[in-house]
Amino acid sequence: MKLYFKNRIALFNTLAAAITMLVVFAAVYAVVYITTYHYLDNNIREEKEELFSQITTTRDSLILGLNAEWEELEHNRAEVDPIFLQIVDNRGVVIFHSRNLENDQLQFADSLTNEQFFNVALNGKIIRQGQFPIKTRTGQIIGQLDIGVSQVDSMLILSNLRNTFFATFPLMLIFFYIVTSLVASRSIAPVKQLISYAEKMNYNNINPKLPLPVHQDEIYQLTATINALLERIEMGRNREKQITSDISHELWTPLTSIKGTLEVLIRKPRDPQKYQEKIVQVIQEVDDMNHTVNQLLYLARLDAGNINIIKKQVNLYDIMVVIRNRWNLQLQNKQMILQLEIPEDTMIQTDFGLLEIILGNLVGNAVKYGYNQGLLVCRWHAETGTLSISDNGPGIPQEHLPHIFERFYRVNVPESSSVQGTGLGLYMVKNLAEIQGINITVESKVNEGTQFDLHFIDNES
């Protein structure tokens, strides 16, 4: 069953109110009930005192001195508020009863030693009865005095109380439900407003932001939180647009260059050396594209948690030679030197393919962002199992350092913004390093250079 929020609130509140009312009623009823019987019992006790003052006992018999005045009084009371009297001797023989009992008899318990109160039926009516042992001066019980009073008034009070409650209870609940439902409806009006605003939004239109309610309550907080979320979505959307354009550019640049090179080549016959030179250039461009597409593929696999790690002993020097060869052309173009300070027999426990991607990115960045004639050093510290890759390039400003490993993060400074990139390289480096137990740290100083340290945990000596 579909139950609206305001109706749910109203229902729960009404349920809570119903329980509270029942508890309060039960307490009130109990107090009235106890008070009523207390009052009746006290009345009976007062009668008993009066009667006992008129009963004289000898050693083993009792003498009734009930005077005519009293009899008269009882007779008068009989119509309105009857009091029934009965005296029973130890043998259970009724030796006196009030006239209003006529042929009836009050119930009594034999040989009672203490006073006792109980409810009994007399002629189909419930009466309250008290029974008191009659004792001689020496304490010997010689009979029982039974006094019964009508409960009609008390019962009337109690039944009126019950009837009033049960008659008004459903009405009170209906009234309470309606009032709570109205109050709840008013309270959630700002939420409904939020829903209607949010319904008008879509991915391309998340403005204007949701209006903040006047009162600084939980709904205000919720609205502010949603607005902050919308702001982040908007930033993400803008970044996504930027990324799409960056990646397109990243693929488009080498494609245009390849097309241009091939078109120039085809125009007229050239000597083999020229062909070879241009083909090497084209291969380089294809490698660049391959690199970008690979990054995207690895990104998808990282997101899907679908990267297999096969660790084995590999020669670090050999990997670095492969990387140096890959970046050789750019190194030559920028007249940069890549110095390998790694013993040729350095073996490390790692996944060859993943390490190649990591090192390719780090060396590639040092080449891309490095100055012409810059120096790039790859050094192995055997004692700590650390490989450091340092350059004397432009460096990374301190405020950007904590973010450079974030997905799609690019440093927005003139030196690097002219260099093509996607902001994916270091994100991949960090993630691929982490999943195979390589700790990566970076230190950088503007205009002095950058150093990345790869700490191979499996190779600590």
Contacting residues toward ligand ADP, per CB under 6 A: 361, 365-366, 369, 391, 393-394, 396, 404, 409-411, 416, 421-427, 450
Are 117 and 128 in contact by the 8 Å Cβ rule? The answer is yes
Q: How far is the CB of 303 from ligand ADP (least distance, A)?
A: 16
DSSP string computed for 158-169? HHHHHHHHHHHH
**Closest separation in Å from C-beta 336 to ligand ADP:** 12
Work out how close the CB of 266 gets to ligand ADP at its nearest, in angstroms, rounded to a whole number. 33
Q: How far apart are the first and last CA of the chain?
A: 67
C-alpha to C-alpha distance for 329 and 333, rounded to whole angstroms: 6
Q: Are 57 and 135 in contact (CB under 8 A)?
A: yes
Closest to ligand ADP by CB, 175 or 252: 252
**In the complex with ligand ADP, which residue's Cβ is closer, 255 or 262?**
255
Is the CB of 319 or the CB of 366 nearer to ligand ADP? Answer: 366
Residue with tokens 């043998």: 91
Cis amide leading into 190 (omega within 30) = no
CB of 283 to ligand ADP, least distance (A): 21
Neighbouring-strand partners of residue 128: 119, 149
Nearer of residues 213 and 425 to ligand ADP, judged by Cβ? 425
Task: Tell me the C-alpha distance between 86 and 132, whole Å.
Answer: 11
Query: In angstroms, what is the minimal distance from the CB of 287 to ligand ADP?
Result: 15
- C-alpha distances in angstroms, 77 versus 18, 71, 424, 430, 461? 43, 10, 105, 103, 112
Of 287 and 318, which CB lies nearer to ligand ADP in the complex structure?
A: 287
Cβ at position 232, least distance to ligand ADP in Å: 21
Q: What is the DSSP string of 32-91?
A: HHHHHHHHHHHHHHHHHHHHHTTEEE-SS-EEE---HHHHHHHHHHHHHS-EEEEEEETT
Sequence-separated contacts (24+) of 402-406 with Cβ below 8 Å:
404/442, 405/429, 405/430, 405/440
Backbone angles phi, psi at 292, to 5 degrees: -65, -45
Q: How far is the CB of 364 from ligand ADP (least distance, A)?
A: 8
Rank residues 153 and 415 by Cβ distance to ligand ADP and give the closer one.
415
Please tell me the total number of residues recorded for the chain in this structure: 461
- Residue closer to ligand ADP, measured from CB, 272 or 414: 414
| Closer residue to ligand ADP (CB): 411 or 432 | 411
Q: How far is the CB of 449 from ligand ADP (least distance, A)?
A: 8
Instruction: Please state, in angstroms and rounded to a whole number, the distance separating the CA atoms of residues 144 and 146.
Output: 6
Q: Which C-beta is closer to ligand ADP: that of 397 or that of 437? A: 397
Q: Provide the token pair at 439.
A: 């700790």
Choice between 213 and 393, CB closer to ligand ADP: 393
Under 8 Å CB-to-CB from 95, ≥6 apart: which residues?
64, 87, 88, 89, 143
Output 316 or 442, the one with its CB closest to ligand ADP: 442
Write the burial class of residue 454 (CB in 10 Å: 0-12 exposed, 13-18 middle, 19+ buried).
Answer: buried
Closest approach, Cβ 288 to ligand ADP, in A, equals: 12
Residue 315 C-beta: closest distance to ligand ADP, Å: 25
Q: Report in angstroms how near the CB of residue 420 gets to ligand ADP at its nearest.
A: 8
Residues 422 and 247 sit within 8 Å (Cβ to Cβ): yes
Contacts of 428 (CB under 8 A, 6+ apart): 295, 298, 299, 302, 357, 358, 361
